[in-house]
Structure 1
């Protein structure tokens, strides 16, 4: 019995451990990629190298471990892979890193906290998410979604006084972080990227139902993302062949680390977790990444922390807490002794509904030949 309880606890803890690992990986990537971009690395070239590395790592693993699990490739699945590799590896990541250039690493990663809210809305529309508006937990999901978006707007429009960091700072941080116009541009780019990322999560969850080989799907996405990203980079960086050169410095480290951890491993882990927990669960842990990036950026990149943006981040965290709490009963077998709270109707509506139900039941019994109400009706 004790061993079984430990095993059950381990099975329940695995999805949480996986998403926490993903967020740690993203946090390190945000800091080192900001440093690489500050030193002149092209975001378009970075995206290509990142997914090329991811494919070289994931393809052998997929070939070895999923020989029997792979489904036959069909035209429908291949089209989904093409769309997946376009909306996240190409569009989302390029917009995200461009937005980071205009702002700071902390601002960029905090803005991605809108992702759970956007994913929740998409999943609700596509009926991948359970919503009962009379349920307190469903109301918490909706309220948390609204709070998350509101917090993102506060972060963008209200800077406030300086909390941490020197007023002088470094020149790069000042140029990237203090202009309102640049902040709004970064906000627009990152927000569009979040919509692409949420769409990627939803489509990946749908694709895994017909193509359940998560490693192979990750490898395919990285391969097609490399090809599509290379086409975009060649167009955007035409006339600048020097941007493709890479040396043994932070730029090489950024491409290798991001490719292995944040594309290959993350695509695979989030696909595995989505099979049992859904896309909203995977995106609900974004605030952890924000906290890690804020701490690392303050010490490593000397980024400044302002009151308005900190307030917006707190609102986002509170909103996401409500979303996670609302989803806590969505998984696993339900306990028959536990009933989810339901918002009570007022007495007048309840009496009217009871009378109507009693009248219909009585009429039905009389129509069937019953001359007296049953005990349950009384």
Structure 2
């Protein structure tokens, strides 16, 4: 019985993260379908999903932190300014770039570009001089190799789509007399622009991660900060959408597939995904959830062969796999480098502890002489 429980504890976080990544892909397919088939504006989609996320996060964030005894003020200028920039970078810029890129390409490109984040993190850290490449360190060399693999993957995805995997969709997805529903077809496909927008969104998310890491150190109530920057991001995105969309009819919502995509994306992004990731982090550590990001590539590939009509290509699938390989290589190098740094700190600490003992032995030897 104890063995079964131990196996369950090990397998449950893994299964949960695989389901989370699969759901992310399915929601991406729903969003792309709503944009291509129903003409939904990507800018309006970002506003509505984040507005609903904010409404859901208000009670959830306070329930999550109700047992905390710290009464640190939330509405201080430093935290408000950080929340403002988190909303600007993570919501207004990154999400609008990503969903605009989705309207010009396909979900498989989203998977490939998302796997570029470790490589972009490494490049930006070098530019900001936060790290230096140590050619004698195995971890640094592996990170460089992984970054180069990721760059090759995203360039291949941008420049080469390859032949179409499947030019028809299964009959069970639609009736003979009705239009196809869950089939992604971009009416204004621009593959190069889509890849560029997705890559830009991934690089912006790296900057957002840096700001978020600094904010979480200053304020322990992570979900309250999330609620606050979601509010700022919603307001900023609304202003951007009003500027980009002159036709006010795009804001009209009906009880249709578009509303379903907005509601499910908001619930999943604000409550389910964050809760599962925090649970897995507590059980397995902060680096555990990072290993599941490339899972989206085979999920999107499987869905693409069934759902993406004549827009799914062998070249994009192969390039996404290359990006996934680069992701794992760069991540492994980063973890190897972090392990080396921890070992160095332990050795320094141990040598500092031995130093007084050595001095005492030397003094005893001097006294005997």
Assess same fold via TM > 0.5: yes
Matches within 5 A, 1:235-246: 235-238=243-246, 240-246=247-253
- Cα distance, 1:132 vs. partner? 4.6
Q: Kindly indicate whether residue 316 of structure 2 is the aligned counterpart of residue 309 of structure 1.
A: yes
- Cα distance, 1:172 vs. partner? 7.0
Closer, same or farther: CA 118–303 of 1 in aligned 2, 3 Å: farther
What is the total number of aligned residue pairs between the two structures? 326
| Secondary structure in 1 matching 2:117 | helix
Q: Kindly indicate whether residue 230 of structure 2 is the aligned counterpart of residue 222 of structure 1.
A: yes
Q: Give the counterpart of 1:292 among 295, 299, 302.
A: 299
Q: Kindly indicate whether residue 200 of structure 2 is the aligned counterpart of residue 192 of structure 1.
A: yes
Q: Kindly indicate whether residue 138 of structure 2 is the aligned counterpart of residue 136 of structure 1.
A: yes
Distance across 2 between alignment mates of 1:22 and 1:114: 19
| Secondary structure in 1 matching 2:116 | helix
Closer, same or farther: CA 123–273 of 1 in aligned 2, 3 Å: farther
Which residue does 2:29 correspond to in 1? 31
Normalised TM-score (structure 2):
0.75
Which residue does 1:173 correspond to in 2? 185
Which residue does 2:65 correspond to in 1? 66
Normalised TM-score (structure 1):
0.74
Closer, same or farther: CA 174–252 of 1 in aligned 2, 3 Å: closer
Which residue does 1:354 correspond to in 2? none
Closer, same or farther: CA 293–133 of 1 in aligned 2, 3 Å: same
Matches within 5 A, 1:1-378: 6=6, 10=9, 20=18, 22-38=20-36, 39-67=38-66, 68=68, 69=70, 71-73=72-74, 74-123=76-125, 132-162=134-164, 164-166=165-167, 173=185, 175-177=187-189, 182-238=190-246, 240-266=247-273, 285-329=292-336, 330=338
Aligned 8 A contact 1:297 1:303 in 2? no
Gaps of 5+ in 1: 340-378
Aligned 8 A contact 2:111 2:320 in 1? no
Which residue does 2:361 correspond to in 1? none
- Cα distance, 1:86 vs. partner? 0.9
Aligned 8 A contact 1:70 1:213 in 2? no
Distance across 1 between alignment mates of 2:89 and 2:280: 21
- Cα distance, 1:81 vs. partner? 0.6
- Cα distance, 1:281 vs. partner? 6.8
Cα deviation code 1:79-121 (max 9, x no counterpart): 1110111112111111111111111222233222212211233
Closer, same or farther: CA 242–212 of 1 in aligned 2, 3 Å: same
- Cα distance, 1:335 vs. partner? 8.4
Gaps of 5+ in 2: 171-179, 348-369
Which residue does 2:351 correspond to in 1? none
- Cα distance, 1:194 vs. partner? 1.3
Please identify runs of 4+ aligned residues in structure 1 that moved more than 3 A: 12-22, 120-133, 167-172, 174-177, 263-278, 280-285, 327-336
Aligned 8 A contact 1:27 1:293 in 2? yes
Aligned 8 A contact 1:55 1:264 in 2? no
